[in-house]
Amino acid sequence: MSQAAAEPLTMAAPERRRPRHPLYFAWRRFAANKGALGAGFVLLAISLMALFAPLVTSAGPNEQAFLTQALAFPSAQHWFGVDDLGRDFFARIVYGARVSLGIGISAATVSVMIGIPIGALAGYLGGRFDWVTMRAIELLSVVPPLLAALLLATLTRGGVWTIVLIGSVFGWVNVCLLVRAQVKSFREKEFIMAAQALGASPWHIIWRHLIPNSVSPIIVGFVLAIPFAMMLEASLSFLGIGVQPPTPSWGQMINVGMNFMFFYWHMAAFPTAALAVTILSASLLGDGLRDAFDPTLKGR
C-alpha cells in the first residue's frame, strides 16, 4: 500500500456563513417590486427638484416677469407655459412641490411622534388604556377627515401649520394601529419575558426593546401618512381655505386653472398631473415597503 493511500482522509470544515440581517431580505423583496422601486425613484426625483428649486429654475415663483406673455402655452422658453399673472408656470410647479411635500412630511412626522407612544402603550399595557385608545380611533374613523378639516380650517383661517395640525390629528391613527399590532405580537416573546424577570420597568421595555423592534411598521406608517396630508392640503387649497396666495400650492393652482381649462389647458393639467404623480408614487412606495417588511400581507 502506498504512503499516499495510508494517510487518513480529512474532511474540510463546513464554511460558516454569517446569517443575513432581516433588512437584507426586506430590501430583496422591495427591489423585486418594480412598481414600488420605480415610485421610490420618482418620489426621490421630485423631492430633489423641490429641495434644489433655485437650481432647477431661474425664475422665482412669484415673479411677474412675463406679463406680456400671460397665459402663453408651453414652449422651449417656458416648459409649462405662463399663468394669468405672467409667472413662469414651471417655477410655480417646482416651488409648489416644496409646499406640498413639506406639509406632507411635517404632518407625517407629527403623526409618528403621536402614534408611536400611544400605540406602544396600548399594545403593551392592554386593559383600560388599550380600550380607550381603540374607542378614540373608532371615533376618528367615523369622522370624515375633509369635513373636519373644513371646519377647523375655517375657524383658524387656514394656513400651512393649520393643515399640518389637521393632517396630524387624523394621520396618527394608522401609525398607532401598526405599532400596537407589532408590540402585541412581541409582548409574549422570550426576550421581553426575560427583561420583565430582571425587573425592567414597562417604560424601559417599551423604549429599549419593543419600539426598536417596531421600526418596520413605523417606516410604513410614516410613508403612508405623507400622501394623506398632501391630498388634504390640496383639497383645502382648492377650496380656498388652505395655503393662501401668493405662496404656490398645487391645489390652489388647480383651482385657478379650472377657470381657464377650456381655453388654456396647461393651467389645470400640469398641477393636477404633478399632484397625481406625487401622491401615487408615495402610495406605491408605502405599499411596497409594507409588503417588503411583512410579506404575509402581500395580496391582501
pLDDT attached to residue 13: 52
pLDDT attached to residue 118: 92
Residue 41 binned pLDDT confidence (cut-offs 50, 70, 90)? very high
| The model's pTM | 0.81
Record: fold of 99-300? MetI-like fold (1.10.3720)
Q: How far is Cα 280 from Cα 282, in angstroms, rounded to an integer?
A: 6
pLDDT attached to residue 74: 87
pLDDT attached to residue 29: 83
pLDDT attached to residue 110: 93
pLDDT at 2 over 70: no
pLDDT in tens, 51-108: 998 898 888 888 887 888 888 888 888 888 888 888 888 999 999 999 889 998 999 9
Instruction: Tell me whether residue 197 is exposed, middle or buried, using C-beta atoms within 10 angstroms of its C-beta: 0 to 12, 13 to 18, 19 or more.
Output: exposed
pLDDT attached to residue 195: 80
User: What b/e sequence results for 221-250 when a residue is b if at least 16 CB atoms lie within 10 Å of its CB, and e otherwise?
Assistant: bbbbbbbbbbbbbbbbbbbebbbeeebbbb
- The residue count of the chain comes to 300
Instruction: Check residues 4 and 184 and name the one with the higher pLDDT.
Output: 184
Tell me the average pLDDT of the chain: 83
